[in-house]
Structure 1
Amino acid sequence: MKSICVYCGASYPEDPSLQSAITLLAETFSDHQIHLVYGGGSIGVMGAIANEVLARGGTVTGVIPQFLLDREVGHFELTELIITNNMHERKQKMADLSDGFIVLPGGYGTMEEFFEVLTWLQLELHQKPIGVLNVDGFYDYLFAQLDVMVDRKFLSVHNRSLVINESEPRELIQKMMRRTAQPDDEETWPEDRDLS
């Protein structure tokens, strides 16, 4: 993977575990010469990951709609800043520029971006790996909900396994590099399932 899109929040609570994960993720990007694609903001987790990658000599492309740029949250010290007309163009451009996707802690916007790109994978609109950096169990309840979807037969076991759940940045990148994302059109519901 030459470029990875990172979805994350515009807020940034004081959390040493999150800061450590962001730092290690940026180091991993640097070690593997991975280009960062993200939402173009200068604040929150977004600004933190961009700054960490830039501080290590990495390259960063931000993609931000004009109305958010007008609120003065754009990051103007990136390798490249792309301005779009709206959120839809922003998300499509971020996806087009990326070979994979990582989800960091965030709010509604992060969840919306994650589920959209995951749905695109399920519909075979792309075959790029999707990983969740599950810092301090931040997304444990989300994965529990995915398991409920499997149990209630709204989601197949195979498509549930399309998402990589990992708490350690280096291991997450390694798993993504080894993963061939292939959705399964045939919904199957085996009794014995391994979702690890």
Structure 2
Amino acid sequence: MKKTNVFLATLFEEEALKMYLSLHLKEDFYLIKSLTSKIDLHLTIGYMRGVNIQDLALIASIFEPLIHTPMIKTHVQQLITLGNGHRANCILAALLEDSDGSFRKLHDQALTLLRKETPYTFENSERFLSHVTIGRLNHHSAQRERMAFIEKFKKQPIPNVSINVERLGLMQRNLVTGHYDCLKSYHLGQ
């Protein structure tokens, strides 16, 4: 039985994100060899590993009630790193403000729907963090270079730019292009 990994994620307006990144995260971050740039920016609501291909239609349909969730307005709270920079899997991310718990509520609601109708669950659900991955540190760089890069990254000014979350998508990585394919889109606030 063929299996795949899929995830439920927020979908951002691409042009708005490009403008945000170019205006507020200095372009030189994408030119430094320490950083592997991230494509298809999104905030993962929940990740499912080992999903049977024939179950994808069912999973797509059970998230339909999420369209009644109100749109979410947020902004970047701080720039963070996940991992310590000593290892290859250090992630550079923008933590989105979630003081009212909107992202956590959305995660919990989606998880409840998933568990009610399928044998699947979200990985690492207890450690949910409302962040957008911007890039990963290249493991070929020297440790001193990675640590200096992390310090520079964390000192970037944090803009007060409003980000509207209006859509979710059930996503699957395309192994040919490296991008993510949207299997189903859900418009919030309907």
Task: Provide TM-score, normalisation by structure 2.
Answer: 0.24
Which has the larger helix fraction? 1
Task: Provide TM-score, normalisation by structure 1.
Answer: 0.23
- Larger of the two Rg values belongs to structure: 2
Larger RCO, structures 1/2 (Cα 8 Å, 6+ apart) = 2
